[in-house]
Every structure is written in structure tokens, then in C-alpha cells.
Chains A and B, each alone.
Chain A
Amino acid sequence: MDKYTLIPLLPLAAFCINILFGRFLIKDRAHWIAISAVLGSFIIAVMTFGEVAQGKTVNQDVYSWIVSGNFKVTIGFLIDQLTAIMLIVVTSVSLLVHIYSVGYMHGDPGYYRFFSYLSLFTFSMLMLVMGNNLLQLYFGWEAVGLCSYFLIGFWYEKKSASDAGKKAFIVNRFGDFGFGIGVMMIFLFLGSVHYADIFGTVGTLQGQTIQMFGYNVDLITLIALLLFCGAVGKSAQIPLHVWLPDAMEGPTPVSALIHAATMVTAGVFMVARFNPLFSLSPIAMNVVAITGAVTSLFAATIALVQNDIKRIVAYSTVSQLGYMFLACGVGAYGAGVFHLYTHAYFKALLFLGAGSVMHAMAGELDIQKMGGLKKYMPVTYWTFLIASLSIAGVPGLAGFFSKDEILWMAYNGGTVGRIVWAMGTVVAALTAFYSFRIIFLAFHGKFRGTHEQEHHLHESPKSMTIPLMILAIGAIAAGWVGIPELLGSNIGVGNWVAHFFEPVLGHPEVHGTHEEEWMVIGISIAAAFGGIFFAWVFYALKPEIPRTLAATFKGIYTTLWNKYYIDELYDFIIVRPTKWAATNVLMAVTDGGIIEGIVNGVPKAIGNFGERLRKLQSGHLQHYAVSMAIGLFVIMTLVLIASAGK
């Protein structure tokens, strides 16, 4: 076994040990096993990254998984630049979240169970990013979904938590429906599901069409869009975004790891991985870009009015994921993955900060009931502020560089690119606004909660604050590997990350001038500071403004507050009719009426079946069984004799 296999295997081993022995033997020592495993994975991941940075890539099989005729799939690893960066993101955030959870989950009766699931998740996510074929990606894809289901519903006694877990799984299945068909199409037309084979032969599909509902549909576009369905589900894009906000029912470290930094970015990873396919279909690319941009804007507007701190951050995640798709859609896969990487740190930090606040507030989530937390929990405040500055796109921090890269690439991306650039810029302003709305409402001003809560306010323990501080460093510095040439050339730094990704993700051609690039940067900086400024005016300077606005634009406000009524719509057009049909059509009419009617009706008409049934029910069951058997035998014998006599 080589060291690459150990990367996913260590967390798997930790899962097996904790789930089997956690309940009776290990109990509250479960974190030792889980943390050492993920630490091991992290160290190997760093070593692997070092090798890849020097130009080494690995593509090897571990064992043959499924062989059926010409359908052959292995479990195997492809480690290239894209995988290497994902390995770093997954293992580092996972490690920090593991450590943070020691404090956060302390004393929970399901302590060992929590760490088992975290290990299982880490294993699954690593299998997803390391796979060298589409089916292993699918394995990881579903397995991370399962862990998400387990962890969202971790406190399963609560109906809302178990509902949210179930919803996440089922909504994702809608996306996987398309994804699965995409996988089958790829096998059908290319004869393999291994990346190397797919990308080697995908060009042969160019220009091929397939008949669908009487139309000729471009094959590559169709396959790309089917795969994208899966990404839409996993990465919570419109119209399958509805599960992610509800997923906040899970423990907060889970939200940070799974629903911000890693699992939800699997969709972006997949699109980036399949860039040779997507790039061949301009239509699919535009769909990706527009879906991303619309989702980004849509989610940002909802985040403006919500009061639940975790839900705001969740909508912010949906919005930022949209940003990553926007980048992929204009061909800037590298910029998208760069944003994935910086986002992992500042968004995990926002969630863990929110968790720290909840910890102090005895589970309170409503930012209207907070205020003035700055003086009680300084570490949480400063780290949360850094994360907010980073996501808002304040120059010098991680979020600025990746967001700027995306906007600049979008600006250069033709008509669609220009449109999504404009949308992205608006989103940037909104993002700064809602992020600082949290800062001003929760951390500044006066405390608005109960006296009891105020009495208990405290900074979180070291196991929680240290991960916050480490993530804060990431939220500041993670972007420094991708300083644009325009800014970097003055201080002698190149855009290292763009060159790093180039072999796998390519680099789109840029036609814009330096002046235009300065303009794009200027506008994005103005948007960031504008958003922060308005948040300050609204929530620190003149707190009556938001109330007046909400009252004036009541229709818009209630629509946003109710998240555009999408949940209600789905309930009305999908959930209810299906359940209704199950009970009132299938059970009552077809099964109960028609089929049973014929089944019971025919014998009834012939020989008064009901009467006999009643007699049978009076007893002597064996007697009748034996007579049936004898009757059967007699019939058989008679027929045989008759036929033998011919």
C-alpha cells in the first residue's frame, strides 16, 4: 500500500473503530482516534501537494471494483493539480473542525457518533476528489450525501432536524437522477467511465446529435447538462437550493465542514474536473454561468433580511457557490477553484464563529437578540470580522483576490460574461452589506437578549478559539498565491495559482486592457466598501431605516423573508400531489378497486368465492391445504396420462 491510499484509508479506519467500539469502550475519547487519523491524512496530503507542485501526477488503480461485460470500473486515484488543492482544502478544514468539535460537542450523548460521522465524511470526500473515474466520484458523491444526512439529523429527536436531513437527501437525489443518466450516457457513447479515457475520446462526440422528443439535441451539450444536474443538487443551486438552508439544523461544525467548505463545493469540483467536456459546449457553459449568477443574486437578496445567523451564512454559501459556477461558466475554471479554496477558509471561519456565538448564547440564533458581543468574546469578534472583510472583498484579504479574478474573467467572457459580471458586481455589494449587518447587529451596539443570557456570555474554550485563529490566517493569506499580474508585477509576485492550475484547467484568453482591469477592480472595491458603509448606516447609525424600508416595501420584504416561497411551491406541486396519488389513486382505485376487483370478482362470479372463503375461514385449514395439493396432483396426473396416450 502506498501513501496515497492511506489518505482516505486513515479516516475510514477511524470511522470503523469509533462506530464499533465508541458506544461501550471509547466513549468521550473518540476524538483522539478521529483527530489522529485526519492529522495523518493532512500530513500526507501536504507531502502529496509538494510532489504535485513539482510537476508529478499520479493515476493508479487500487483494485477492480465492478466487472460486467465491457463495463469495467476500478477503485483508483488520480492526483493532479486539481485533486492536490482539494486534498489540502478537505484535510485542513476537516482537521480544524475536528479540533473545534472537541470543545463544541463536549458532553453531548452522541459524542462518539459525531466523530464517527466526521471521519466517515472525510473518507468519502477524499474518495470523491481522488477518484480516477466517474463511478468512484459517484460513490463519494452519494457517500458525502449520506454523511450530510446523518449529521444534519444528528439531533434526530427534533422533528425539524430529521426533516431537514431527509429533505437534503431527497432533493439531492433529484440532481443525482440527471447525473446518473449522464454517467450512463458517457459509458454508452464513450465506452468507459475512467477520466483518462473520457477526456481522451470526448472530442469524437463533437457534432453528434441525438433524437429527443423529435428534436436533434447536441450530444455533448446534453451530457454536460445532465452532469450539471448533479452539481446543481450537491452545490445547492437554483432550483435545488432548498435543502441547504434547512441543513443548518445540524451541529455548527458540520455546517462549517460539510455545508460550506467541502461537500457543497463537490459540484464545482466536478464541473472543473470535466472542463474538457463542458468547454466543448458553449450552450452548457452559458447555462452554468447563468445558473451560477442567478443563484448568486437570488440567495444574496434572501440573506439581506434573514435574522437567523446560521441561515444568513448558509444563503451566503449558496450565493458564493453561484459565484464559483459563474466562473466555470465563463471558462475560468481556475478562478472558480481558486475561489472554492479561499471560500473554504473564510466561510468555515464564519460558521465556526457563529457556532462560538451560539455556544455563548445558549443556542440562540437570532441576531436581533444579540448585540455588543464584541466585548464578551474578543477572539470570536476579531476572527469573525476578518472573515467578513475577506468575503466582502476588501483588498489584501483572500476573498478579494479570488473574487476579483472571477469578475475580471467574467468581464472578458463575451456578452453572457458581461451580463454575469454585472450581476456578480451587484452580488459583491450585497455580500458586503449582509455580512456587516451581522457584525453590527451581533457584535456592536447594546446586548438585546435576556439577562440570563447576558450573565452567561463568555469567550469559547481554547479548542474552539485556536481553530478560529488558524482559519483567520487562512482568510487573510490564502489568496496571496493568486495575486493578479497587474498588481503583483509591481511587487514582483506572479499569479502562482493560475499557472499551477493551467495543466488541468487551462486558462481562458483575456483580451481586456490594463485600464479595463483597473476599472473592474475599482468597481469591485467600491461595491465592497459601499456595502459595508450602508450596513453601518442601517444597523449602527440609523437603526430605524431598515424598519421603515420593510414597512414601505412590504411586498418585497415578505417575499424575501419567505425565501420567494420556493419551499411552499415544491410542497404544493410535488410533495402533496404524490402523496395524495399514492393514497387516493394507487391504493384506493387501481390496487384496491380495479385489480382487487377483478381478482376477487372473477372467482366470485364463477363459484361464489366469498361463500367458500368464509367456510374456509371457519377452520380445518390444513385439511383444505392437503385437499388442494391432492387436487393438483390429480390434475397433473390426468393431463399427463391423456397426453401420453396420444
Chain B
Amino acid sequence: MSYPILSTVIFLPIVGALLIFLMSRSNEALIKWTALLLSVLTFFLSVPLFLDFDKTTANMQFTESYQWIPSWGIKYALGVDGISVLFVLLSTLLTILCVTVSWNSIKDRTKEFYAALLLTEGAMIGVFCSLDLFLFYIFWEAMLIPMFLLIGVWGGPNRVYAAIKFFLFTLVGSVLMLVGIIVLYLNTGRSFDILQMMNTTYPFNLQLILFWAFFAAFAVKVPMFPVHTWLPDAHTEAPTAGSVILAGILIKMGAYGFLRFSMPILPEATRAMSPVMMILSVIAIIYGAVICLGQTDLKRLIAYSSVSHMGFVTLGIFALNTQGIQGGILQMINHGIVTGGLFLCVGIIYDRTHTRKIADYGGTATVLPIYAALFMVFTLASIGLPGTNGFIGEFLILLGGFTASKPMGVLASTGIIIGAAYMLWLYQRVFFMEVNPKVQGHPDVNFREILTVVPLVLLVLYVGFYPNTLLSFMDASVQNLINRVSTAGQPQQVAQQIIEVIK
């Protein structure tokens, strides 16, 4: 590859955002088409990452590295492995859908909206590609601002409260992580190089402290129980595109953070803390699922279901075995596809009815049959029906979780019962039974909306029937990660035991 592909994919949307910012506010069509064109272009530019990827190695690929601030050891270093490459592709794909779903629903400050959307995209991809902690932190924080604006400006009636809550939660987490980053920097010979950190062994006590510092940032993003309460508010108030990005990509950064930083850099602490993390995950699975049964707001219900699904993801990751981690990563992608799809669908009906209250629906399948069929596919994927992507992820996670701890695996399995209960009950209340007057007379999905949702429907089925495409991508990287976590620190433990015996 002759050109720096990762930098292009990161900065094309950012430059595009600036370009849109310079456009005339009145020319809405130009703004929208520019945004669409740029997001499509970015997607096509990211496709070679998928096609030219070497699945046999766990090494970083498509790497770029330049000195940035040499006196502080800061580099501009980018690269992807089998884990992050999938998220880059998910980001570029979902952004296109965010543009098309917002086509007619964002009427106010269109220019700023699309600029913020593209800025978010660039920063998100940056987060997944950074190989320098400093650069990572910049992208991590940079994407907060446009996201904050997306919720706070184009959101629902209670948007300001939700936006600030979102900001404060993530900010508190990020500040602790920043402290952790600096401590790591000082202990790695003044370097922010992530790959170097992955090959350094830090003292166990330091690892523990750093683990919790990073945990603060990542757990808020995931969000794990009990720091999840910003998510329902943010989702409920965010515009459709905001919810899709939140659910599809932003909350994946937390789990990605565990995989990229906590595990390889702090392997012993990860191993020591894995029972605690598994317990928190199982609580999130059950808690998030049960609380769904009490929801009266469509988006709030899907938001809480995200808490439950992300509980599955962290359970898999901290099971620390192949099936668990692969299932966890796959489920992150799946959740992006499925929950992204659900939020797109909710946005589509909201554009017509302007209500999110479940009680305002009923009989939607009679009025909008094609829409009902599309929503059904995502519902089934959400409850992990075999043949959809949700099953593969959930089953591998449960298998991994069960292998690591039988009680945890059994408890987590109850999530599949409650998951079916709340999703099918939701579907019944919205789509079945007598037609609610508020739904009556609305047109079925149009061509633009079908084009927006169908790619995700196809992905749901493709991954369900042929998950190996994705699993093979992450295979080498996951094995590498497991080797790192399971072997690190053992010599010292042996030494310690010997010392104790001698004493």
C-alpha cells in the first residue's frame, strides 16, 4: 500500500467536517450530499484494510510512525490488528447509515450536525488505530465534544441534562485514566509507545492501581454496572444518529480499552481481577435485562438492553479464554450492528409518530408491514436466535464464561430467558394487537430507509451463518493476547513461592 491508509481514513472525515463548516448554511442539499459522499468515500477507503489484511499474524498492520514531540517521547503512531480493524470498518459503515437516516429528520443547524457527525467518525477511528497512548488520549477526548454536541443540541426535550451527565461521567473516568497514562509513561522510560508497554512487566501493585485507573474510564464507557446510568438518559435524548453512534461504536471503546490496554499491559492485574469483573458483568446482564421489563420508553428500553448485552461482552473478555474473548469481540460488533439497527428503526418510526412511548404504539405491523419485518430481524438477533449474529456471540461468550466459572456461566445464561421476555413483549406492544390511532395512516418505510437498514439486516444473517469471516480475523490477535495474559508474571510467582518456602 503506497499511501498512509489509516491516516487517510481518520483525517478525511475531519477535513470533510471543516469543509462543511465553511459552506453556506442555506445550501442544505450541498451539505448533505457532501457528508454522504465523504462518508461513503471513507468507507470505500477503509475496505482495503479488510481485503489486504494478513490474518496469519498478530502483529500490527498498516502501521505508520512519525516522531511528533520527540522531547516528550510522543509519536504519531498508527496501526491495526485483527481486533481493531473490525471496529474501523464498523465505524465507517455506521457513519454512512447515520447520514442517510438523518436526511430528513435533522432540519435545524444542518451544517453543524453533519460536521459534528464527521468529526466524531474521524476521532473514533483514531481511537481504534492509535499505537501511542498520548495520541490515543487526544482522540478519546476529542470525540467527546462532537458527541456531547450531538446529544445536547439535536436531542430531545431533556437533552441538556443528558448531555452534561454523559460528559461528566466520561470526564471523571477519563481524568483517572489520564493519571494512569502518566504513571505508565513515567514507568516505561518516558515513552507513550503502546507496543513497548505490552512488552514491559510492571510491578504487580502498580498494575493493580493502574488497572483500576483505566477501569474508571473504560467501565463508564462500556457502561458497566454500577456506572451505567448515563446511558439510558443519553440514548433517550440523543437524535437517532447520536444513538446509533453511541450504541454502535462509542460504548465499544470501553471494552476495546480493556482488550488493548488493561489486558496486554497489565496482564497480572487482569488475571487477579477477572473474578471481580465477571461478577460485575453478570450483575449487568441480569440487572440490565430485568430493568428492561419496567421500561415504558422505546429508546430507554433498548438502552438498558445495551447494558445487559455489554455485560455479556465484558463477561466474555474477562473469561480470559479463546471462546470468551472471541465471543466478546464478535458480540461487540454484533451489538453495533443489532442495536445500531434497532435505534435506526426507532428513529424511522419516530420521524412519523414523534413519540417514544411504548403505550402510544400497537398494531404497527398492520400499518407498516415491511418495517415490522425489518425490526423483527433485529429483535431476533438481540435475543440471540441461532441463524443471527447474536447467537454466535452470545453462545461463545457463555461457553467461555462457563469454562472459566460454572456459576457465572449459569447465572449469565438466565439473561437469555429475560432477554427473550423483554424483547418479545416490546415487539408485541409495538407491532401486534389492535392498531393504535397514533400509528394509523403512516406510510411504510421508503426506499431511502430500506437502503439504510438493509445492510445491517444482511450482516445479521451473514455473520449468523458464516461467522468465521470475522472470527478468522481476530484469531491470531486473540491467541497472542491470551498468551500474554496467561504467561506473564509466572516466573515471579514461582520465585515468590520459593522465597516463602525458604522462610
**Residues of A in contact with B (beta carbons under 8 Å apart):** 19, 23, 64-71, 135, 138-139, 142-143, 146, 149, 153, 156-159, 162-163, 166, 169-170, 173-174, 176-177, 180-181, 184, 187-188, 578-579, 581-583, 586-587, 590-591, 595-596, 599, 603, 613, 616-617, 621-622, 625-626, 628-629, 632, 635-636, 639-640, 643-644, 646
Q: B376 to chain A: closest CB distance in Å?
A: 9
Please, what's the 1-or-0 string for B283-297, where 1 marks a CB less than 8 Å from any CB in chain A? 000010011111000
Chain B minimum-CB-distance residue to A583: B294
CB–CB B145/A177 < 8 A: no
A162 to B186, CA, bound (A): 62
B220 to chain A, nearest CB (A): 11
Complex: how many Å from CA A622 to CA B185? 33
What are 5 inter-chain pairs, A to B, with CB distance below 8 A? Answer: A66-B467, A616-B164, A628-B167, A629-B144, A643-B186
Closest to B414 in A: A177
B387 touches A636 (CB 8 A): no
Q: Contacts A67-B468, A162-B432 known; list 8 others, CB within 8 Å.
A: A156-B432, A157-B434, A163-B428, A170-B421, A173-B416, A177-B416, A616-B160, A632-B174
Question: Chain A residue with minimal CB distance to B434?
Answer: A157
Answer whether A23 and B369 are a contact pair too, CB < 8 Å, given A69-B326, A586-B291, A628-B171. yes
Tell whether, in the assembled complex, residue A173 and residue B417 are in contact, meaning their CB atoms are under 8 Å apart: yes
Whether, in the assembled complex, B76 has its beta carbon less than 8 Å from a beta carbon of chain A, the answer is no
A595 touches B226 (CB 8 A): yes
Residue picked from A581, A583, A599, most chain B C-beta under 10 Å: A599
How many whole Å from B311's CB to the nearest CB in chain A?
14
Docked complex Cα distance between A551 and B357 (Å): 49
Interface residue B323 (Cβ < 8 Å from any Cβ of A): yes
Q: Which chain B residues (160-175) contact chain A, with CB distance < 8 Å? A: 160-161, 163-165, 167-169, 171, 174-175
Q: Are B425 and A617 in contact (CB under 8 A)?
A: no
Q: How far is the CA of A158 from the CA of B433 in the complex (A)?
A: 5
Return the chain B residue nearest A622 by Cβ: B149
Minimal Cβ-Cβ distance residue in B for A142: B386
Residues from chain B with Cβ under 8 Å of A595 in the complex: 226, 229
Is the C-beta of B152 less than 8 angstroms from some C-beta in chain A? yes
Least distance between B203 CB and chain A CB atoms (Å)? 19
Q: Which 8 A-B pairs have the closest CB atoms?
A: A69-B322, A582-B294, A162-B432, A583-B294, A139-B386, A582-B293, A156-B432, A586-B291
* Selected interface stretch from B1-9, B42-50, B267-275, B391-399: B391-399
Which of B124-132, B257-265, B341-349, B402-410 lies on the face that meets chain A? B402-410
Partner of B413, one of A19, A181, A613: A181
Smallest CB gap from A621: residue in B: B152
B92 within 8 A of A: no
Chain B proximity of A586: nearest CB distance (Å) = 4
- Residues of chain A lying within 8 A (CB to CB) of residue B290: 578, 581-582, 586
Among residues of B, the one whose C-beta sits closest to the C-beta of A584 is: B294
- In the bound complex, do residue A66 and residue B392 qualify as a contact, i.e. CB atoms below 8 Å apart? yes
- On chain A, the residues within 8 Å of B165 by CB distance are 599
Q: How far is the CA of A69 from the CA of B482 in the complex (A)?
A: 11
Residues of A within 8 A of B398 (CB): 180, 184
Cα(A608)–Cα(B367), bound, Å: 50
Does A181 lie within 8 Å of B402, measured CB to CB?
A: yes
Complex interface: chain A residues within 8 A of B321 (CB): 69
> Closest approach, in angstroms, between the C-beta of B170 and any C-beta of chain A?
11
Partner of B293, one of A67, A163, A177, A579: A579
Closest to B293 in A: A582
B280 adjacent to chain A (CB < 8 Å): no
Chain A residue numbers with a CB within 8 Å of B255 are: none
Once the chains are docked, how many angstroms separate the CA of A573 from the CA of B163? 40
A68: chain B residues within 8 A (beta carbon) = 322-323, 326-327, 396, 471
CA distance A376 to B55 in the complex (A): 71
Please provide the chain B residues from 373 to 403 with a CB less than 8 Å away from any CB of chain A in the complex: 373, 380, 385-387, 391-392, 395-396, 398-399, 402-403
B366 beta carbon closer than 8 Å to chain A: yes
Q: Which residues of A sit under 8 angstroms from B326, Cβ to Cβ?
A: 68-69
- Most chain A beta-carbon contacts within 10 A, residue among B152, B424, B472: B424
Q: Which residues of A contact B433 (CB under 8 A)?
A: 156-159, 162
| Interfacial chain A residues near B373, Cβ < 8 Å | 19
- Evaluate contact between A632 and B409: CB separation under 8 angstroms: no
Question: How distant is the Cα of A383 from the Cα of B482 in the complex, in angstroms?
Answer: 65
Total A-B residue contacts, Cβ distance less than 8 Å: 175
Q: Which residues of B contact A646 (CB under 8 A)?
A: 186
Chain A residues contacting B363 (CB-CB under 8 Å) are 157
Q: 8 Å CB contacts to A: which residues of B423-456?
A: 424-425, 428, 431-435
Task: Determine the interface band of chain B, counting residues with CB < 8 A from chain A.
Answer: 35 or more
Report the separation of the CA atoms of residues A177 and B420 in the bound assembly, to the nearest whole angstrom. 12
The closest CB in chain A to the CB of B474 belongs to A68
- Interface of B toward A, CB cutoff 8 Å: 71-72, 137, 141, 144-145, 148-149, 152-153, 160-161, 163-165, 167-169, 171, 174-175, 178-179, 182, 185-186, 190, 226, 229, 287, 290-294, 321-323, 326-327, 363, 365-366, 369-370, 373, 380, 385-387, 391-392, 395-396, 398-399, 402-403, 409-410, 413-414, 416-418, 420-421, 424-425, 428, 431-435, 465-468, 471-472, 479
Nearest CB on B from A633, distance (A): 8
Q: How far is the CA of A159 from the CA of B431 in the complex (A)?
A: 11
* Bound form: Cα–Cα A49–B54 in Å: 47
| Contact call A603/B291, Cβ cutoff below 8 A | no
Query: Within the assembled complex, what's the spacing in Å between the Cα atoms of A613 and B174?
Result: 21
User: Do B399 and A187 have beta carbons less than 8 Å apart?
Assistant: yes
In whole angstroms, what is the CA distance A582 to B398 when docked?
24
User: Within the complex, what minimum Cβ distance (angstroms) separates A142 from chain B?
Assistant: 5
| Interface pair B402/A67, CB less than 8 Å apart | no
Q: Please tell me which one of the listed residues A69, A640, A644 contacts residue B323 in the complex, with CB atoms under 8 A apart.
A: A69
A184→B402 contact, CB < 8 A: yes
Interchain nearest-CB distance for A43 vs B (Å): 26
Q: State in angstroms the CA–CA spacing of A518 and B294 once bound together.
A: 61
Report Cα–Cα, A625/B143, bound state, in Å.
Answer: 12
- Whole-angstrom CA separation of A173 from B414 in the bound complex: 9
Instruction: Kindly list chain A residues whose C-beta atoms are within 8 Å of the C-beta of B424.
Output: 149, 166, 169-170
Taking the closest CB of chain B, its distance from the CB of A358, in whole angstroms, is: 22
Whether B468 and A621, one on each chain, are in contact in the complex, defined by CB atoms closer than 8 angstroms, is no
Q: Establish whether residues B420 and A169, one from each chain, have CB atoms under 8 Å apart when the complex forms.
A: yes
Residues of B within 8 A of A587 (CB): 291, 294
Contact B145 A579 (CB under 8 A): no
Q: Note all chain B residues with C-beta closer than 8 A to A596.
A: 229
Whether B471 and A162, one on each chain, are in contact in the complex, defined by CB atoms closer than 8 angstroms, is no
| Nearest CB of chain A from residue B444's CB, rounded to whole Å | 10
Q: How far is the CB of A546 from chain B (nearest CB, A)?
A: 37
- Bound Cα distance A66, B469 (Å): 10
> Which residues of B have CB within 8 Å of A69?
321-323, 326, 479
Instruction: Provide the residues of chain B in CB contact with A181, threshold 8 Å.
Output: 402, 409-410, 413
**Identity of the chain A residue whose Cβ is nearest the Cβ of B479 in the assembled complex:** A69
State the CA gap A23–B444 with chains docked (Å). 13
A548 to B403, CA, bound (A): 61
Complexed CA–CA distance, A590 and B417 (Å): 22
Which of B321, B369, B387 has the largest number of chain A CB atoms within 10 A?
B387
| Bound-state Cα–Cα, A66 to B373, Å | 27
Given contacts A139-B386, A582-B292, contact A640 B153 (CB under 8 A): no
CB distance from A7 to the nearest CB of B (A): 18
Cα distance A595–B165 in the bound complex, in angstroms: 13
With a cutoff of 8 Å between Cβ atoms, the chain A residues found around residue B399 in the complex are 71, 184, 187
Partner of A586, one of B182, B287, B327: B287
Complex formed: what's the CA distance from A187 to B406 in Å? 13
Chain B residues in 8 Å Cβ range of A582 = 290-294
Give the chain B neighbours of A635 by CB distance below 8 A: 175, 178
State whether A66 and B171 are in contact (beta carbons under 8 Å apart), knowing that A146-B385, A184-B402 are contacts in the complex. Answer: no
